[in-house]
Amino acid sequence: MGNNISDIIERYLKRILQQSQSGVIEVQRSELAELFQCVPSQINYVISTRFSVDHGYVVESKRGGGGYIRIRRIDLDEHAPLVSLVRSMGSTISQREAESVIDRLRREQVVSEREAAMLRAAVRREVLNVDLPYRDELRARLLTQMLLALSAAVQRAEDDARPQR
């Protein structure tokens, strides 16, 4: 994790999000900007690049007096996290988006650190090494197929553990 302001703000928000049991926090844009000595729009940048739906967050806000920005962490479907996640993915995905999906899977412990490491390797642009826009399509196919394969493997494991059908 880098040393730029965006990363610092990201860590701050994730920390207080963690501390709040509810998984929801409310902050004020101008106050945050003041705290971190940056322009207010930087907060929007951090939110849009690190707290997107792909990352598993929903952000709402209100303008005017008493305004706020509310960040809510959304958990994956308990029963079929991989399948429902794959369904929500398109036929194209950037490296950044793919990494946010992988981070989220890791956060919710759907994949192990080893599995996440493999996925991260597989979505890197230097590894895919084909020209855009085909690269983003290839990445989407790879990611969805690997996740579906994982899901199937989980299913098989559960079936084996319960042979009485």
Partner DNA sequence: ATAATTAAGGTCAGAAATGGTCAAAGTCAA
Partner DNA sequence: TTGACTTTGACCATTTCTGACCTTAATTAT
CA dist 124 and 135 (Å) reads 10
Site for DNA in 39-58 (CB under 7 A): 39-45, 48-49
- The contacts of residue 14 (CB under 8 Å, 6+ apart) are none
Residues near a second copy (CB under 8 A), total: 55
**SS3 state of residue 160:** helix
In the set 114, 132, 133, 136, which binds a second copy (CB under 8 A)? 114
Contact criterion met (CB below 8 Å) for 86 and 147: yes
Q: How many residues bind DNA (CB under 7 A)?
A: 35
Q: Which stretch binds a second copy (CB under 8 A): 11-19, 37-45, 76-84, 85-93?
A: 76-84
Tokens of 21: 């049991």
By the rule CB under 7 A, 88 interacts with DNA? no
Check residue 37 for interaction with a second copy (CB under 8 A).
Answer: no
> CB neighbours (10 Å) of residue 55?
18
Shortest distance, position 153 Cβ to DNA, whole Å:
21
Which one, 89 or 154, has the nearer CB to a second copy? Answer: 154
* 24-27 β-sheet, strand order: 24-27, 68-73, 57-62
Residues near DNA (CB under 7 A) are: 2, 4-7, 27-31, 38-45, 48-49, 61-69, 94-96, 125-126, 132
